[in-house]
Chain A
Amino acid sequence: MKTHLLTMTAGAALLASLAHAEEVRVYNWSDYIDEDLLTKFEEETGIDLIYDVFDSNELLETKMLAGGSGYDVVVPSGTFLQRQIAAGAFQKLDMSKLPNHGNLWDKIKERTAEYDPGGEYSINYMWGTTGIGYNVGKVTEILGEDAPVNSWDLVFDPANMEKLAECGVHFLDAPAEMIPAALNYIGEDPDSHDPEVIAKAEEVFAPIRPYIQKFHSSEYVNALANGDICVAVGWSGDVFLAQFRASEAENGQEIDYSIPNEGAQMWFDQMAIPVDAPNPDAAHKFINFILDAQNAAAATNYVWYASGNKAAQEFIDQEILDYPAVYPDEETLAKLFTTTPYDPRVQRTVTRLWTKIKSGT
């Protein structure tokens, strides 16, 4: 249909050039790549790259389950990947087309095998943690020098939240991450699938709810950077992006990120190819391009998320490798936890609880 319109409006010459250009459509998280890499890919392969972004796993999952998304490469996180594999949304990767897959980091591969046994369907893009981003100046001003920035007390203790409310606190609108964080805080199993245990998360949120300004999964980046809010429970690299934007704007806001002492959720974003991808060949080329040690390093140097690529570490800035909030040391790593997908019944309980926490109904 589109082609017919083009013939009528744009003329045959344009059509011919369009028909010959090979295309690959990539759907990745927002603010998650060095855009120079996109041009580099196009130059190296001659393939036109169409790069779209999303900010929630739920949005991506709906496109995958509906089918016909038109994307060749998508990047779901672990638990979502696992469920989508079960629903038959992805095709197996052809490792012969991914000569760079030997660059992967075995330690990360072991952890992602939980979601994709044998790594048949997916390749790790990056991984990170869900912790606390904060405005150093504003938080010290309100809570003093000994503000508990390295503890979940900062956001789950109502006494702190009551004071922080005046400068603004955001939480991720991601129940699959916020409820485990709350359960972990009260000493329950963060990966519990027992509705009675999950319900306990409400007791954590109820007293702090009035002090939470917003639940949103991408707005906090700019809000932190502009100084509109002073604390956000968010994803590691996104907070670093806020830090970078604030320093670039020279607005005097100093942003930092912490993995709380009580432990935090570790997550993995995995590149996968939808079963109905229009151009799986080009999709493999794109994944192989990202698997290249230097390219993977360039992405990490730009977004400050840890790479699942071992060979890339040679090219990653030493500053990042030494930064425990990005590459946690062994001690912190031991405290990080992962979660597994909920079945539909438990998922409904979780979503319902989350709506109740957010809206009070």
Chain B
Amino acid sequence: MRRFILIAVPYLWLVALFLIPFVIVLKISLSDVALARPPYFPQLDLSAGWEGLTSFFSALDFENFWFLTTDDLYWKAYLSSLQIALTSTVMTLLVGYPIAYAMARAAPEWRPTLLMLVILPFWTSFLIRVYAWMGILSNEGLLNQFLLWLGVINEPLTILNTNIAVYIGIVYTYLPFMILPIYSALERMDDSLLEAAEDLGCSRLSAFWLVTVPLSKNGIIAGCFLVFIPTIGEFVIPSLLGGSGTLMIGKVLWEEFFSNRDWPVASAVAVILLLILVIPIILFQRNEQKQREAEG
């Protein structure tokens, strides 16, 4: 009985905060747009009983999903979001791994301070930090003024409102999510394994590739998921730092929802985004499980 309650709590959580909202979004994605409050049709009328229920379900269709295939905007935006998310995940990993590695190799009395420094930016609102980047990257901003003063450049570089600014913003924002899981994996590593590797004739570099990296694999995977998943639907960073040419599905969704007032199509875009995210994760986990079974 106790075990049942223990399992039920996370499941209830999942049903209340994921499944129910998803079903609502799915339902809207099958409706039609209408000039009403809320702006879609049909509305579920429970007071009409069975008849209300049947007429409600008969009015639902997949027209909006079909519509998404008629315009190349949508798949281009999905692809571009995937590409931006993948690139920034790789960049975050390249920046985050050395930091996590250095932290795990630092003297034990320093580690809590270093950990604190990684978490410290969260004490300021995310929005303010992104705005601060606008001040740094703009044409008359700190970075350009500094580079002009150094004499490295003669003309201010245009960084703000380009994809480069978006990458900078994403890597900066999500870096702690990459560092923390990798750090916790590296910190647990037994140093004697490295000694053993060297005793057996491994160079330091190959010991790093053959021992350290595989042992931190779980941290890397967790970090990559924590960066990749929120980045693909990111709206704030591209709209503040990106230019008008930055095509991301979050912005397309915003347009559907706010400019077109087409909640059904916006919901269809969101449902597909979720499928794009969920299917690879499920496949990945299944693959992991198979491997574990094969090893075990």
Contact = CB atoms under 8 A, between A and B. Distances in A.
B37 A89 contact: yes
Interface residues of B, number: 29
Contact of B259 (A58, A86, A226, A228): A58
A87 B36 CA distance: 4
B146 to A, nearest CB: 16
Contact of A361 (B33, B36, B72): B72
Interface in B28-61: 33, 35-39
A228 B246 CA distance: 20
A66 B266 CA distance: 14
A344 B35 contact: yes
A327 to B, nearest CB: 32
B199 to A, nearest CB: 58
Nearest to B140: A228
Interface stretch (B3-11, B166-174, B183-191, B250-258): B250-258
A135 B35 CA distance: 42
Given A65-B37, A355-B255, A214 B247 contact: no
B37 A64 contact: yes
B140 A347 contact: no
Given A168-B139, A344-B262, A67 B38 contact: yes
Contacts of B255: 351, 355
A66 B24 CA distance: 14
B261 interface: yes
Contacts of B76: 361
B259 A358 contact: no
Contacts of B257: 62
A351 B140 contact: no
Interface residues of A, number: 36
Contacts of B77: 361
Nearest to A58: B258
A61 interface: yes
A4 to B, nearest CB: 19
A331 to B, nearest CB: 34
Interface of B is mostly: loop
B261 A61 contact: yes
A73 interface: no
Interface of A is mostly: helix
A354 B256 CA distance: 12
Nearest to A276: B37
B73 interface: yes
A302 interface: no
Contacts of A64: 37
A200 B77 CA distance: 24
A83 B73 CA distance: 27
Interface string B244-286: 1111000010010111111000000000000000000000000
B147 to A, nearest CB: 16
Nearest to B72: A361
Contact of A67 (B37, B138, B244): B37
Given A67-B38, A344-B261, A227 B243 contact: no
Given A344-B261, A348-B262, A88 B36 contact: yes
A227 B252 CA distance: 31
A175 interface: yes
B38 A214 contact: no
A228 B261 CA distance: 33
B161 interface: yes
A361 B38 contact: no
B178 to A, nearest CB: 29
In the A-B complex, the 5 residue pairs with the smallest Cβ-Cβ separation, listed nearest first, are A58-B258, A358-B244, A351-B259, A65-B39, A359-B247
22 contacts: A62-B258, A62-B261, A64-B37, A65-B38, A67-B38, A87-B37, A87-B39, A89-B37, A212-B244, A213-B243, A228-B138, A351-B259, A352-B71, A355-B252, A355-B255, A356-B73, A358-B245, A359-B245, A359-B246, A359-B247, A361-B77, A361-B247
Interface of B: 33, 35-39, 71-73, 76-77, 138-140, 158, 161, 243-247, 252, 255, 257-262
Given A58-B258, A344-B33, 9 more contacts: A65-B37, A65-B39, A65-B261, A66-B38, A87-B39, A344-B262, A351-B255, A356-B73, A358-B244
